[in-house]
Structure 1
Amino acid sequence: MRKSLSDMTIQELWELFPIQLTEHKEYWNDWYQEEQEFLSSFLPKKVRIYHIGSTSIRGIRAKPIIDLLAEASLGDHQTIKELLLKNGYICMASSKNRMDFNKGYTPDGFAERVFHLHLRDFGDHDELYFRDYLNEHPEIAKEYEKLKLSLWKPFEHDRDGYTEQKTDFVRKYTQRAKKQYGKGKYK
């Protein structure tokens, strides 16, 4: 009898869902648009939804997982959580000000389309600065790709380690972006 995802250990999940990096695909933006339209069909109208993560950065390899940032007032987070759970998302992490959801994970591995949705309060959106900076600076985007490729195999079954190893790079260029764009860019 096969275990359900909720019964698997983190190690079992990382084995079933290893880090995979693929060439950039133009259709990732279409997948984002379609999911954004789906989410907008049932989420409160005030929610802002953005495409973030490496699939939103032109021309670099990425995990074929569409990252979405949903900004909403903290008072709406519980309602949004319930709506997401009713519409195919699984809550993976929850804290006072943030919730993370996944869609497209099955006991057999990844579905064709996989999404990570990061629910945040308005203004908690550093990923937008990083995304736009790398899209405007393709040479920095290629440095990021090179870093990710160097981490891929050593951390193939350790998502936390993979993410941790990228933190300094992401922080450095997010700060540069904030300096360049100003803090009010995404209001």
Structure 2
Amino acid sequence: MEHKELTELSLGELWQLFPIILTAHQDCWADWYKEETELLKEKLSYVERISHIGSTAIKEIWAKPTIDILVEISKEEKLSNVKGIIERCGYICMAENNSRIDFNKGYTLQGFAERVFHLHLRYEGDNDELYFRDYLQANADVTKEYECLKLALWKQYEHDRDMYTFHKGDFIKQCTQKGKQLFCDKYDNKRFL
């Protein structure tokens, strides 16, 4: 694998090099998010909103030690215009379509770096993850239920991220819908979170 770039690796090779790892919540994750957000805000001062999403944004829950960041841009902007700026911040584009681009940072041919980030570039309003996060933060019992689900799936799908994600899908969908009902229109305002 030494002669390939990360973007040239097959999905199977990526999953072997970057297995699912869960760890107890670390307070440093919030600091890592803040530091990375400062870099992004400096380069992307015109974005609609930058948010910490995923399990590292939820205190007291076991998580993959990967900071998920949602960057929402105005529908008048072009994703392709923002893509190059994000890449210059050290990110690698891993998936792209007309309405979303996903980036990774902290992935090396030797495995994970100390700090790992997933950045999700989307148009404003494509932010279901915010409602899921907020619903879990407001419901400790549901958060523990989610944590138990993740821990149960971890070793079984350690090298298969698609199946790990798939088996969490119904739970996430249900919580997201409840979050949207509970926090109706919370994210219509333009602000950084």
Q: TM-score range by the shorter chain?
A: over 0.9
Q: Secondary structure at the match of 2:186?
A: coil
State how far apart, in whole Å, the 1-side matches of 2:123 and 2:44 are.
15
Q: Is the partner of 1:110 in helix, strand or coil? A: strand
Structure 1 residue 102: deviation in Å? 0.5
- What is the Cα deviation at residue 43 of structure 1? 1.1
Question: CA offset at residue 58 of structure 1?
Answer: 1.1
- Report 1:22-171 matches (<5 A): 22-74=23-75, 75-171=77-173
Structure 2: which 5+ runs fail to align?
189-193
**2: CA distance between counterparts of 1:55 and 1:133?**
14
Q: Give the Cα separation in 2 of the matches to 1:7 and 1:123.
A: 32
SS in 1 for 2:157: coil
Q: Does the Cα contact within 8 Å between 2:73 and 2:122 map onto a contact in 1?
A: yes
Provide the rounded CA distance (Å) in 2 between the counterparts of 1:13 and 1:46.
31
Worse overlay, 172-181 or 143-152: 172-181
The letter of the residue matching 1:165 is H
User: CA-to-partner distance for each residue in 1:27-61, whole Å, 9 max, x for gaps?
Assistant: 10000000000101111423310000000011000
Deviation at 1:7, TM superposition (A): 2.5
Aligned to 2:191: none
Give the aligned residue type for 1:109: G
Please give the alpha-carbon distance, in whole angstroms, between the structure 1 residues aligned to 2:48 and 2:80.
13
Return the offset for 1:6. 2.3
Provide the secondary structure at the position in 1 that maps to 2:176.
helix
In structure 2, what is the Cα distance between the partners aligned to 1:7 and 1:78? 21
Counterpart of 2:186 in structure 1 is: 185
Write the distance in 2 (CA, Å) between the matches of 1:180 and 1:95: 31
Find the aligned partners of 1:79 and 1:62 in 2 and give their Cα distance: 32
Distance 2:31 2:89 in 1: 20
Please give the secondary structure, in 2, of the residue aligned with 1:41.
helix
**TM-aligned CA deviation for residue 86 of structure 1:** 1.5
**What TM-score, normalized by structure 1, do the two folds share?**
0.96
TM-score, length of structure 2 as denominator length: 0.93
Separation in 1, partners of 2:67, 2:88: 20
Unaligned 5+ residue runs, structure 1?
none
Partner letter of residue 86 of structure 1?
Answer: R
CA apart distance, 1:64: 0.1
